[in-house]
């Protein structure tokens, strides 16, 4: 499969994520959209890694492996972030009985 | 002895510091002793130095104290020049200065301690500056003294600064002097530019090799300085107003010494003036015009000090006439005799004012001769001296200038001798309406009339003796050959031929005769007319123009002061509206802008994220399309 398809898919996923972050007010959904953007990037990294391996694998078996390690890093960090983020959302719900981010502009006042 | 010349100016400086700094602690007696003592010691030192300088073949001595300004090739030492001319001025300044200090101890006695000490501090500072002026061996030191005397003049005119008019008179004197000083300063710059030095001897030795045009510029600018300090047209109007100061100050600063600084400066740089006939003509014409104008104004003044002030302006005009026709000796001679008789007249007027309890209007005096005997006699002697009646001092000095003026042009002589007639007339008008006739003041004043204490009468007597006999120092050639002691004494500095153009002996006798006859006519006419029927009413017709000083002050107000005021008002308007408008506008713009920017800070997380995304997209686009 040509690399273009992967790129188009990743960009589409990323844009959906951005649009979701911008338009939605529910904290959980925003959270999911952020995950979507992260995974779009992961997908792109894996695709480029594979492409590089196809191009250079004959001479260098290690080619493109660092991108895959990067993806694992991102997944681990994302998992940690999800746990922290969910904890924040839970605390937020406990305090305000709402998970609407627009409700949280009190720092302004 | 000559090496100790620096002590002469330093002593009054010490006096100034002591009386000035400790004015709250010194008693009046101690202040008087310090104030007079320092000047007296300076006078004694001057006499000792005079003893050395007057000997035949005495060379000018330059005493260098320290390096004052040293920049690149230009080097200006702080040095004093001791020669015949400067020592003569030293004697006049310290001698007359001491008498006036002595007089002041009594005249100012009603002031309380600190004010009394402030007065003496200023007076000592003045003497210091004046000594610096005449001792300086280059134009810069002279200029320092020049500025110093201007400052002291300002401080002393405004001595009673609580009176607004007096304060304004002080400001007027200072500003008028500043205008002249600017000319002087530019002249110094021109000298540095051309000669690379401001030292008298160096400038004078290099001057003959310079173009006449350049020298004319320098001499004209120096003369502008002199018109300010020595009260000549067009900058003379400050001097009559300067009478706001205490009377001894008027005697010392505004008659005897400071106002002669311009004459000293021109006599000192006579080498330059000899090379520029155009400037000489200007000096003579301005001097003559001033003499005539001031004498005409003096005819109709009623304030005793104002008459003397205009008389001073007029006499200074004579001195400039002398300088302009090349009679440098005559001018310096007239400085000396004028210092004596004008100081005498002012101090006499002070004695009268003292007796009258502060009254200065002659219309309220009259008949004071019976009560103030010493003042009366000494004042009369002063009047005769200034009127130019032989053998009193004024006759000799004035006649020397007039005969030199005749040698240059008979027109100068005619105007000069007419002014002499006016001088005799207004001086005897002053004398007759003050001392003769009957008393016209209030009963209280009449009761209060008394002769002044000895501290005031002794200076009067000493000055009267000098005013009578000083003329014999300069007996003209036609009367007795080689009897002009002063001319002989000054010859090493002013050069041979410093007596101006020669006149045939027969003519000179004739000229003398004319001026003596006119002086007698003026004196007797005024004496007879005003001793019986003094002028009391308001002047009319032409007299009113004279009484209002030819409306010169009004004219200056109209052409200089008012346009300047208008310019100032315009600038205030410009400043308040345009400059402040720009500054306030910037402030308001920032305030307005920040108020708009605040709206973005909404606290909505979505908004921030949107801005962030937009920003990133813009950056991408810039990266993609613009930056190649």
DSSP code string of B478-526: TTSTT--HHHHHHHHHH-TTTT-S---HHHHHHHHHHHHHHHHHHHHHH
Residue A29 sits at the chain B interface (C-beta within 8 Å) = no
Q: Are residues B498 and B583 in the same domain?
A: no
Task: Quote the number of domains for chain B.
Answer: 3
Distance separating alpha carbons of residues B125 and B128, to the nearest angstrom: 5
Residue A16 sits at the chain B interface (C-beta within 8 Å) = no
Distance separating alpha carbons of residues B338 and B382, to the nearest angstrom: 10
Are B603 and A101 a contacting pair at CB < 8 A?
Answer: no
Alpha carbon separation from B606 to A26, A32, A104, B596, B620 (Å, rounded): 11, 15, 11, 19, 21
- For residues B240 and B313, the answer to whether their CB atoms sit within 8 Å is yes
Joined together, the tokens standing for residue B85 give 């001319």
Q: Are residues B519 and B583 in the same domain?
A: no
Nearest-CA neighbor of B486 among B620, B278, B288, B329?
B329
The pLDDT-based confidence of B628 (bands split at 50, 70, 90) is low
Nearest to A101 among B602, B605, B613 (CB): B605
Distance separating alpha carbons of residues B269 and B277, to the nearest angstrom: 14
Q: Which letter does DSSP use for residue B604 in this model?
A: -
State yes or no: pLDDT of B346 exceeds 90: yes
Confidence at residue B1, expressed as pLDDT on a 0 to 100 scale = 75
Chain A residue at shortest CA distance from B611: A22
Joined together, the tokens standing for residue B23 give 């004015």
Whether B462 is in a domain gets the answer yes
Are B605 and A108 a contacting pair at CB < 8 A?
Answer: no
Distance separating alpha carbons of residues B192 and B69, to the nearest angstrom: 13
Are B610 and A22 a contacting pair at CB < 8 A?
Answer: yes
The pLDDT-based confidence of A48 (bands split at 50, 70, 90) is very high
- When mean pLDDT is compared across B178-187, B275-284, B431-440, the lowest value belongs to B431-440
Nearest-CA neighbor of B465 among B371, B342, B331, B344?
B344
Q: Are residues B357 and B251 in the same domain?
A: no
Nearest to B609 among A21, A105, A107 (CB): A21
Buried b (16+ CB within 10 A) or exposed e, A64-102: beebeeebeebeeebeeeeeebeeebeebeeeeeebebe
Q: Are residues B319 and B414 in the same domain?
A: yes
Chain A residues lying within 8 Å of B607, measured CB to CB = none
Residues 45-104 of A with CB under 8 A from B: 101-102, 104
Helix pair angle (B261-268, B84-107), 10° resolution: 170
pLDDT higher at B627 or B290: B290
This complex has an ipTM of 0.78
Measured between CA atoms, how close is A59 to chain B, in angstroms? 34
Residue whose pair of structure tokens reads 């000594």 in the numeric block: B131
Helix pair angle (B28-53, B7-21), 10° resolution: 170
What's the mean per-residue pLDDT of chain B?
90
State yes or no: pLDDT of B627 exceeds 70: no
Nearest to B606 among A22, A107, A109 (CB): A22
Helix pair angle (B164-195, B139-157), 10° resolution: 170
Residue A108 sits at the chain B interface (C-beta within 8 Å) = yes
Mean pLDDT of B22-40: 92
Residue whose pair of structure tokens reads 């009413």 in the numeric block: B537
Joined together, the tokens standing for residue B254 give 């505004």
Are A105 and B605 a contacting pair at CB < 8 A?
Answer: yes
Confidence at residue B499, expressed as pLDDT on a 0 to 100 scale = 73
Q: Are residues B60 and B119 in the same domain?
A: yes
Q: Are residues B339 and B463 in the same domain?
A: yes
Identify from A22, A30, A33, A106 which residue to disrupt to test chain B contact, counting B C-beta atoms within 10 A and taking the largest count.
Answer: A22
Confidence at residue B254, expressed as pLDDT on a 0 to 100 scale = 86
State yes or no: pLDDT of A105 exceeds 70: no
Q: Are residues B526 and B588 in the same domain?
A: no
Identify from B599, B601, B604, B611 which residue to disrupt to test chain A contact, counting A C-beta atoms within 10 A and taking the largest count.
Answer: B604
Nearest-CA neighbor of B54 among B29, B85, B10?
B85
SS3 state at A100: strand
- For residues B409 and B503, the answer to whether their CB atoms sit within 8 Å is no
Confidence at residue B149, expressed as pLDDT on a 0 to 100 scale = 94
Q: Are residues B424 and B509 in the same domain?
A: yes
Confidence at residue B111, expressed as pLDDT on a 0 to 100 scale = 87
Nearest to A102 among B606, B610, B613 (CB): B606
Confidence at residue B45, expressed as pLDDT on a 0 to 100 scale = 94
Q: Are residues B25 and B83 in the same domain?
A: yes
* Phi, psi dihedrals of residue B257, rounded to the nearest 5°: -120, -65
Chain B residues lying within 8 Å of A23, measured CB to CB = 606
Q: Are residues B336 and B386 in the same domain?
A: yes
Residue B614 sits at the chain A interface (C-beta within 8 Å) = no
Q: Are residues B615 and B583 in the same domain?
A: yes
Give strand pairing partners of B473: none
Chain A residue at shortest CA distance from B601: A108
Structure confidence by residue, pLDDT tens digits, B424-481: 999 999 999 889 888 888 888 888 888 888 889 999 999 999 999 998 888 887 777 7
pLDDT higher at B226 or B505: B226
Identify from B604, B606, B617 which residue to disrupt to test chain A contact, counting A C-beta atoms within 10 A and taking the largest count.
Answer: B606
Joined together, the tokens standing for residue B159 give 């001595």
Mean pLDDT of A68-91: 93
Whether B209 is in a domain gets the answer no
Are A109 and B602 a contacting pair at CB < 8 A?
Answer: no
Structure confidence by residue, pLDDT tens digits, B558-596: 998 899 999 999 999 999 999 999 999 999 999 999 999
Domain end residue (candidates: B199, B222, B257): B257
Are B603 and A18 a contacting pair at CB < 8 A?
Answer: no
Confidence at residue B239, expressed as pLDDT on a 0 to 100 scale = 92
- For residues B370 and B450, the answer to whether their CB atoms sit within 8 Å is no
pLDDT higher at B602 or B353: B353
Whether B105 is in a domain gets the answer yes
Residue B64 sits at the chain A interface (C-beta within 8 Å) = no
- For residues B339 and B266, the answer to whether their CB atoms sit within 8 Å is no
Structure confidence by residue, pLDDT tens digits, A27-44: 899 899 999 999 999 999
State yes or no: pLDDT of B307 exceeds 80: yes
Structure confidence by residue, pLDDT tens digits, B385-437: 999 888 899 999 998 999 999 988 899 999 999 999 999 999 999 999 889 88
Nearest to A105 among B603, B610, B613 (CB): B603
pLDDT higher at B59 or B582: B582
Q: Which CATH architecture has domain A3-108?
A: Orthogonal Bundle (1.10)
The pLDDT-based confidence of B55 (bands split at 50, 70, 90) is confident
Alpha carbon separation from B509 to B2, B330, B517 (Å, rounded): 41, 17, 12
Are A108 and B603 a contacting pair at CB < 8 A?
Answer: yes
Joined together, the tokens standing for residue B222 give 């120096």
Confidence at residue B367, expressed as pLDDT on a 0 to 100 scale = 83
Residue whose pair of structure tokens reads 């972030």 in the numeric block: A81
Distance separating alpha carbons of residues B34 and B29, to the nearest angstrom: 9
Q: Which letter does DSSP use for residue B451 in this model?
A: P
Neighbours of A7 (CB within 10 A): 14
Domain span at residue B607? 577-626
Distance separating alpha carbons of residues B102 and B466, to the nearest angstrom: 17
Mean pLDDT of B587-611: 86
Confidence at residue A32, expressed as pLDDT on a 0 to 100 scale = 92
Are B604 and A25 a contacting pair at CB < 8 A?
Answer: no
Distance separating alpha carbons of residues B389 and B557, to the nearest angstrom: 39
Between CA B412 and CA B398, with CA B487 as vertex, the angle to 5 degrees is: 35
Identify from B600, B601, B605, B616 which residue to disrupt to test chain A contact, counting A C-beta atoms within 10 A and taking the largest count.
Answer: B605
Identify from A21, A27, A104 which residue to disrupt to test chain B contact, counting B C-beta atoms within 10 A and taking the largest count.
Answer: A21
A vs B, Cβ pairs < 8 A, gives 24
Confidence at residue A106, expressed as pLDDT on a 0 to 100 scale = 64
Nearest to A22 among B601, B603, B609 (CB): B609
Measured between CA atoms, how close is B617 to chain A, in angstroms? 12
Express as a percent the part of chain B with pLDDT over 70: 99
Structure confidence by residue, pLDDT tens digits, B72-93: 888 899 999 999 999 999 999 9
Domain end residue (candidates: B226, B257, B288): B257
Measured between CA atoms, how close is A105 to chain B, in angstroms? 5
Distance separating alpha carbons of residues B140 and B2, to the nearest angstrom: 22
Chain B residues lying within 8 Å of A15, measured CB to CB = none
Chain B residues lying within 8 Å of A104, measured CB to CB = 605
Q: What is the 3-class SS of B101-137, one letter each residue?
A: HHHHHHHCCCCCHHHHHHHHHHHHHHHHHHHHHHHEC
Nearest-CA neighbor of B361 among B441, B293, B447, B283?
B441
- For residues B367 and B438, the answer to whether their CB atoms sit within 8 Å is yes
State yes or no: pLDDT of B187 exceeds 70: yes
Chain B residues lying within 8 Å of A25, measured CB to CB = 606
């Amino acid at each position: 499969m040509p690399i273009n398809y992967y790129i188009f898919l990743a960009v589409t996923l990323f844009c959906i994520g951005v649009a979701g972050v911008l338009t939605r007010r529910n904290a959980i959904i925003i959270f999911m959209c952020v995950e979507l953007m992260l995974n779009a990037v992961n997908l792109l990294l894996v695709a480029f890694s594979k492409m590089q391996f196809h191009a250079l694998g004959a001479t260098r078996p290690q080619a493109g492996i660092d991108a895959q390690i990067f993806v694992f890093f991102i997944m681990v960090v994302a998992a940690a972030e999800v746990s922290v983020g969910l904890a924040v959302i839970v605390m937020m719900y406990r305090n305000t009985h709402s998970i609407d981010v627009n409700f949280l502009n009190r720092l302004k006042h | 002895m000559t090496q100790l010349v620096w002590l002469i100016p330093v002593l009054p400086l010490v006096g100034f510091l002591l009386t000035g700094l400790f004015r709250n602690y010194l008693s009046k007696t101690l202040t008087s002793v310090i104030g007079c003592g320092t000047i007296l010691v300076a006078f004694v030192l001057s006499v000792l130095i005079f003893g050395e300088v007057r000997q035949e073949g005495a060379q000018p001595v330059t005493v260098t104290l320290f390096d004052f300004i040293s920049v690149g090739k230009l080097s200006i030492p702080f040095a004093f020049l001791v020669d015949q001319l400067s020592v003569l001025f030293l004697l006049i300044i310290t001698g007359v200065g001491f008498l006036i200090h002595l007089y002041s101890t009594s005249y100012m006695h009603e002031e309380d301690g600190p004010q009394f000490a402030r007065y003496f501090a200023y007076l000592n500072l003045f003497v210091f500056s004046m000594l610096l002026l005449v001792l300086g061996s280059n134009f810069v030191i002279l200029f320092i003294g020049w500025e110093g005397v201007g400052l002291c003049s300002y401080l002393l005119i405004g001595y009673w600064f609580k009176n607004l008019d007096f304060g304004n008179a002080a400001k007027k004197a200072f500003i008028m002097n500043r205008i002249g000083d600017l000319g002087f300063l530019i002249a110094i710059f021109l000298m540095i530019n051309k000669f690379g030095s401001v030292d008298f001897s160096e400038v004078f030795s290099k001057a003959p090799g310079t173009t006449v045009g350049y020298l004319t510029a320098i001499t004209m600018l120096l003369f502008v300085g002199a018109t300010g300090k020595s009260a000549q047209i067009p900058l003379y109007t400050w001097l009559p107003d300067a009478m706001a100061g205490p009377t001894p100050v008027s005697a010392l600063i505004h008659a005897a010494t400071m106002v002669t600084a311009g004459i000293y400066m021109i006599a000192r740089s006579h080498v330059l003036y000899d090379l520029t006939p155009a400037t000489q003509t200007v000096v003579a014409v301005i001097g003559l015009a001033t003499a005539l104008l001031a004498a005409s104004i003096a005819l109709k003044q009623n304030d005793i000090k104002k008459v003397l002030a205009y008389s001073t302006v007029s006499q200074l005009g004579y001195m400039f006439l002398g300088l302009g026709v090349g009679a440098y000796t005559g001018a310096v001679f007239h400085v000396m005799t004028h210092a004596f008789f004008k100081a005498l007249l002012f101090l006499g007027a002070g004695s009268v004012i003292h007796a009258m309890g502060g009254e200065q209007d002659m219309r309220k005096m009259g008949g004071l001769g019976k009560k103030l005997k010493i003042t009366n006699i000494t004042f009369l002697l002063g009047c005769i001296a200034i009127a130019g009646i032989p053998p009193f001092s004024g006759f000799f000095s004035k006649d020397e200038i007039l005969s030199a003026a005749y040698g240059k042009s008979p027109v100068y002589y005619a105007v000069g001798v007419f002014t002499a007639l006016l001088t005799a007339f207004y001086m005897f008008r002053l004398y007759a309406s003050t001392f003769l006739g009957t008393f016209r003041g209030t009963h209280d004043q009449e009761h209060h009339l008394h002769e002044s204490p000895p501290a005031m009468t002794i200076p009067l007597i000493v000055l009267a003796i000098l005013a009578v006999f000083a003329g014999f120092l300069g007996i003209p050639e036609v009367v007795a050959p080689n009897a002009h002691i002063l001319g002989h004494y000054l010859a090493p500095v002013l050069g041979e031929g410093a007596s101006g153009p020669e006149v045939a002996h027969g003519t000179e006798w004739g000229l003398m005769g004319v001026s003596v006859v006119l002086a007698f006519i003026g004196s007797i006419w005024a004496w007879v007319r005003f001793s019986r029927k003094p002028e009391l009413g308001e002047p009319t017709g032409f007299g009113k123009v004279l009484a209002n000083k030819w409306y010169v002050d009004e004219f200056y107000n109209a052409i200089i002061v008012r346009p300047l005021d208008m310019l100032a008002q315009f600038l205030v308007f410009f400043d308040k509206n345009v400059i402040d408008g720009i500054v306030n506008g910037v402030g308001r713009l920032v305030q307005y802008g920040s108020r708009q920017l605040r709206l973005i800070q909404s606290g909505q997380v979505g908004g921030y994220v949107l801005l962030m995304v937009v920003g990133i997209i813009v950056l991408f686009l810039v990266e993609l399309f613009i930056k190649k």
